[in-house]
Amino acid sequence: MWLFLAFLMVPLIEIALFIQVGGLIGLWPTLAVVVLTAIIGTWMVKAQGRLAMENLRRSFSELNDPGEPLAHGAMILVSGVLLLTPGFFTDAVGFALLAPPVRAAVFAWLRRRVHVTQFQMGPDPRGPVHRDPRAGPRPGPRSGQGDVIEGEYTEVPKDKAPNHPGSGWTRH
């Protein structure tokens, strides 16, 4: 229901704002403002997106929870879509999402409403016995097999000379 209301109300708000602003400053200045906000917004999204990617890389390299950098990246992406959509209301929301304090507030609001039941990086140190059976099949090796590495091999004849040209993978 909320999504339907958003798709209904946002265009109506944009049309009303276009009529009001166009009546105050004229048609061409109104169109120029819309194009200018799209250009400035694109530049800001690119800069903020670069910072968000650096934060995400840092969280991965330091093995920290990537949830917040991912959420910030998603909000920057949404702000880019809003800024490229012609309109004053969508531009206002898009520019607001580019502000780090606004994104932090939205993330805090989402964090209070979204409950993560399990987050795990790497294998469970307690082993497969302590794993929640409702979590579904475990990626990787099937349980009970331990560390399994699949591959192909070819037996080398014993009479092979040590000066035989190798494959490059071994030293002779």
Interatomic CA distance for residues 101 and 109, integer angstroms: 12
Q: What is the pLDDT of residue 123?
A: 65
For the cut 80, the answer to whether the pLDDT of residue 99 exceeds it is: yes
Q: What is the pLDDT of residue 101?
A: 94
Torsion of CA 92, 97, 99, 100, to 10 degrees: 170
Q: What is the pLDDT of residue 77?
A: 94
Q: What is the pLDDT of residue 35?
A: 92
Q: What is the pLDDT of residue 143?
A: 52
Name the residue ranges covered by the structural domains of the chain. Answer: 34-113
Q: What is the pLDDT of residue 97?
A: 93
- At 13-45, the pLDDT tens digits run 999 999 999 999 999 999 999 999 999 999 999
Residue 165's φ and ψ, nearest 5 degrees, are -65, 125
